[in-house]
Amino acid sequence: MVENERHLLELCGVSVGFPEKRRGLKLVTQGVSLHVNPGEAVGIVGESGSGKSVSMLASVGLLSGGGRIVEGSVRFLHGEKYIELNTLGQKELNEVRGDEISMIFQEPMTSLNPLMSVGHQVEEMLVLHTDCEAGERREKVLAMLKEAGLSDVEALYGKYPHQLSGGMRQRVMIAMAMILRPKLLIADEPTTALDVTVQAKILKLLKKFQTEYGTAILLISHDLGVIKSVCSRAVVMCGGRVVEQGGVENLFGQPKEDYTKKLLAAALGKENVLRQAHTQNSGEVVVRVTDYSVFYEEKAQKTKRGAEGDCDMAAKKSGLSALLCKKTRREVVKHVSFELYAGEIVGIVGESGCGKSTLAKALAGLNPLTGGTAFISCSQPQMVFQDPYGSLNPTKTIGWLLTEPLRLHHVGTKEEQRRAACEMLDKVGLGAEYYSRYPGTLSGGQRQRVAIAMAIMLRRRFILLDEPVSALDVTVQEQILVLLVKLQKEFGLTYLFISHDMNVIHRICDRVFVMYGGEIVESGEALQIFDNPKHPYTKKLLGARV
Amino acid sequence: MKSTEKKRRQPNTVNWSLAVGIALVSAVLLFVFVGLFYTPYDPMEMSMALKNKPPSLSHPFGTDYMGRDVLSRVMDGAGTTFLIGVVTVVIGLVLGTLVGAFTGYYGGLADEILMRLNDTLTSFPSILLALVFVSVIGTGKYNIIIALGVIFIPSFARVVRSEYIVQKELDYVSNARLLGAGNLRIMFVHILPNTAPILLSSVTIGLNNAILAEAGMSYLSLGVQPPDPSLGRMLSEAQGYFMSAPWVALAPGMMIVLTVLGFSMISENIGRRERDFGGK
């Protein structure tokens, strides 16, 4: 590092505190020091709760909930001299933000105003910070949108955010952030909500702006791959402190701190496969799906909503779809056929919208509009959902949730049910002391353990896992995957594991189906798919893996 | 995760408006409760000698046009008003929740029909509807409870319905279904507790409206019949003497204002808290 080089942004010992009930301040970050040089791309890595977003939001004065910088200073190179961002008033801060510092956020749907056309939203930046004429503004906006990789910009100008895809929205956000050519772009998990193939394109775009306009980028992400592909230097954060920082090559090549090593180990699943593809194929078919299609109604027909209630297996098998007129339906899963054998973990991979979740829900009997046949050797398969916050009823205790399946099927006495639930809690690594706690007091990983326990309570042999680790941090992902494999062996389960994440699939699955546009485009042993992909889409997916 | 959960609970110092609301409501409740067992005078006892006397030590809120003690009548009448308010809300709550749960959960044709019926009910001023009811089934304390209770069904039904429409799409409901729970069990064991926060704030708002509606109906001589006191009845009687004996109207009026204020302050805070916790 050159001694006399002037940093663009400097955080010196920044501690951010949130006011807490009765007890004054709770410190979320402690003594965070880092800097960004002009034109440099720096990454901040860490798990959720590590304080990576909070420290950056605090630096630009965007914290909500009463949080503020308690200690330390944030300096930003403004013209020739430094200004202290943490001492500026709202008005002066507004001038720096947008003009010289801009931000993009994780969820492009919520960070765009749904009631304003995207063109006007981008134009708003010019209205606030420059004194261009209306015509000139429009020209600039159109040029910028084009530069952000969007096509047909004239038509796009008048469109509203809900008419765009996630990737397009994020491009609009980037156009908005870059139109004033800021010196610093803070990107907070800009690609987390996007599909892998889109993700790679967005990262390329960021990189392009960095090299072309010399914009410094501060990229916040939990994904080491994302950081690696854009940044030259990275900062690892954990528990509100900076653990380690340095050049990307050094940091990820020879990590010094234990935490960095742990993070790397969890992220680079390739060397760490949990299951090899040595399936002792018992030949016993657990699931046989032939020419199976799943439909959605194109425009929700009111009269058919009533059918949702009684979508049990019987209704599904009898082919309720025959009763419905064809023109209102859209085929989401198209004529897929496959077999699952006892004791297998089979992965379905594909990007969002490819129909993989729809397929799982239909197999579980949650969508009655199906065609073809699905034979499942056990009664009602169980399912683990992606979002551990939505899948557990917040008003019930963990014990109640775990005993509910037993109550519903009249298994055992109250005392036996209680004992079974406690045993299951032990098995998923939580312990009986969680019995009387509520989901609200658990972390995401703990909740997912409860959800898995619930799915196993009835000892059904076939379990559908719909993105079970996608909402979790990498190190927690690791633990849940290990748990899933352990339980699979112990109870002799068969999993259908759905994920968009090739790394996760690679680690856990024996066989893989690649889905694209509602069809299975490639299937085979996991090793074969990963080492020798045949279909162009599979190659693209593997290529986008960062 | 822990830090974000903490963050949402901020900033949480003493919530004065909630505290004042609770204090007001409990003071009013205490007052009503004492009134059940003890009033300084018999609220029905008339005395021509004491007609329209201003507040004094022996009659702190004065006497009305029949020489009855205003304090005693407020203590007694507030109880009646409260009873009507609470029972009305309970009727509306129970039936409204049932209607809302079924229509929201199942949707479809029944939903369409019931909701249009609901719209029809809400498109008339509630006091007008109550008037129609009362003219059919007659006046009196119990008839007015039925009339107001029926009128309260739509508002609860609508709130509960929209909550069910949201909740039934959540994964925990799918999960319960996969575990083998039937529709009724999902509706009332799994989903219903999750509507509690929104129900709680509608109940407090409902109580307000019920108390005001009773006062209005009794003021129009359609509710509680003389000589039984109720807050609205008392206001109605005091109207004729408003220039000469304003204190007769003051006590019941204040009672209504304080009660409604208390409930409003509580419900506003419940609503706010729910917003803070609800969104993710």
Closest C-alpha to B150, from B205, B95, B79: B95
Contacts of A67 in chain B (CB under 8 A): 7, 10
User: Cβ B6–A20 below 8 Å, yes or no?
Assistant: yes
Cβ separation of B172 and A390 shorter than 8 Å?
yes
Any bridge partners for residue A512, and if so which?
A347, A524
Question: What's the CATH code, domain A270-315+328-381+461-546?
Answer: 3.40.50.300
Which of B203, B99, B92 minimizes the C-alpha distance to B146?
B92
A378, amino acid identity: C
Within a 13 Å sphere around the CA of A513, how many CA atoms are in the beta-carbon half? Answer: 23
Q: Which residues of A44-56 are buried (b: 16+ CB within 10 A; e: fewer)?
A: bbbbbbbbbbbbb
Domain B70-278 has CATH 1.10.275.10: no
Indicate the domain borders of chain A: 101-181, 270-315+328-381+461-546, 393-459
Six token digits for residue B14: 């003493």
Q: Do B106 and A28 touch (CB under 8 A)?
A: no
pLDDT over threshold 90, residue B276: no
pLDDT attached to residue B5: 41
Give B183's contacts in chain A (Cβ within 8 Å). Answer: 309-310
Nearest CA in chain B to A49: B1
User: Mind telling me how many Å the CA of A501 is from chain B's nearest CA?
Assistant: 21
Q: Which positions in chain B touch A308 (Cβ < 8 Å)? A: 107
- Taking the CA atoms of residue B156, residue B157, residue B163 and residue B165 in that order, the dihedral angle to the nearest 10 degrees is -170
Q: What's the token pair of residue A41?
A: 């791309």
Contact predicate A481/A469, CB 8 Å: yes
Q: pLDDT (tens digit, 9 = 90+) per residue, B191-235? A: 999 998 888 888 888 888 888 888 888 878 787 887 788 888 888
Q: Where are the alpha helices (DSSP H) in A214-330?
A: 224-230, 248-253, 258-267, 313-317
Taking contacts as CB-CB distances below 8 angstroms, the residues of chain A near B195 are none
Residue B112: list chain A partners with CB under 8 A.
302
* Mean pLDDT value of segment B224-251: 83
pLDDT of residue A311: 39
Q: Which residues in chain A (115-134) have CB-CB distances under 8 A to chain B?
A: none
Amino acid letter at B13?
Answer: T
What is the spatial distance between Cα A117 and Cα B162, in angstroms, rounded to a whole number? 29
Q: For residue B190, give the DSSP letter.
A: I
Task: Spell out which residues of chain B touch residue A390, defining contact as CB-CB under 8 Å.
Answer: 170-172
pLDDT in tens, B144-202: 888 888 888 988 999 999 999 999 988 999 999 998 899 999 999 999 999 988 888 88
Q: Is the pLDDT of residue B262 over 50?
A: yes
The sheet carrying A41-45 orders its strands as A101-104, A184-188, A216-221, A41-45, A233-238, A241-247
Q: Which pLDDT belongs to residue B272? A: 63
A6/chain B closest Cα distance in angstroms: 34
Tell me the shortest Cα–Cα distance from A130 to chain B, in angstroms.
35
DSSP character at residue B12: -
State the residue for tokens 């960070």: A111
Closest C-alpha among A178, A180, A234, A225 to residue A206: A178
* Average pLDDT in chain B: 83
> Between A and B, how many residue pairs show a Cβ–Cβ distance under 8 A?
110
CB nearest A443 (choices: B1, B6, B112): B1
How distant, in Å, are the alpha carbons of A76, A491, B8, B141 from that of A59?
A: 10, 50, 20, 64
Mean local confidence (pLDDT), B5-21: 63
| Tens digit of pLDDT at every position of chain A (546 positions) | 444 468 888 888 888 888 776 667 778 888 888 889 988 999 998 887 788 888 888 888 887 777 788 888 888 888 778 888 888 888 888 888 878 888 888 777 778 888 889 999 999 888 888 888 888 999 999 999 988 888 888 888 888 888 888 888 888 988 988 898 899 999 988 887 777 778 888 898 999 999 988 899 999 988 888 888 889 999 999 888 888 888 888 888 888 888 888 888 776 654 556 665 455 566 788 889 888 988 877 543 334 444 443 333 334 434 444 444 444 677 888 899 998 988 889 999 988 778 888 899 899 888 878 888 888 888 788 999 988 888 999 889 999 999 999 999 998 899 999 999 999 999 998 888 899 888 888 888 899 999 999 999 988 889 999 989 888 877 788 889 989 999 988 888 899 999 988 888 888 888 999 999 889 999 988 888 888 889 998 888 887 765
Choose among B14, B75, B65: nearest CA to B39.
B75
DSSP state of B41: S
CB contact under 8 Å between A383 and B175, yes or no, is yes
Question: Of A18, A389, A394, which has the smallest distance from its Cβ to B7's Cβ?
Answer: A18
pLDDT at A403: 94
d(CA A472, CA A454): 19
What distance in Å separates the CA atoms of residue A253 and residue A231, rounded to the nearest whole number? 14
Q: Which residues of B touch A454 (CB under 8 A)?
A: 175, 179
Shortest Cα–Cα distance, A303 to chain B (Å):
5
Do B196 and A408 make contact, defined as CB atoms within 8 angstroms?
A: no
Count the alpha carbons within 13 Å of A127 in the hemisphere toward its beta carbon.
9
Q: Rounded CA gap, A28 and B3, in Å?
A: 7
Rounded to whole angstroms, how far apart are CA atoms B70 and B248? 6
More confident residue, B242 or B104: B104
Q: Using alpha carbons only, how large is chain B's radius of gyration in Å?
A: 22
**Which residues of A, range 289-308, sit inside 8 Å of B by Cβ?**
302-303, 305-306, 308
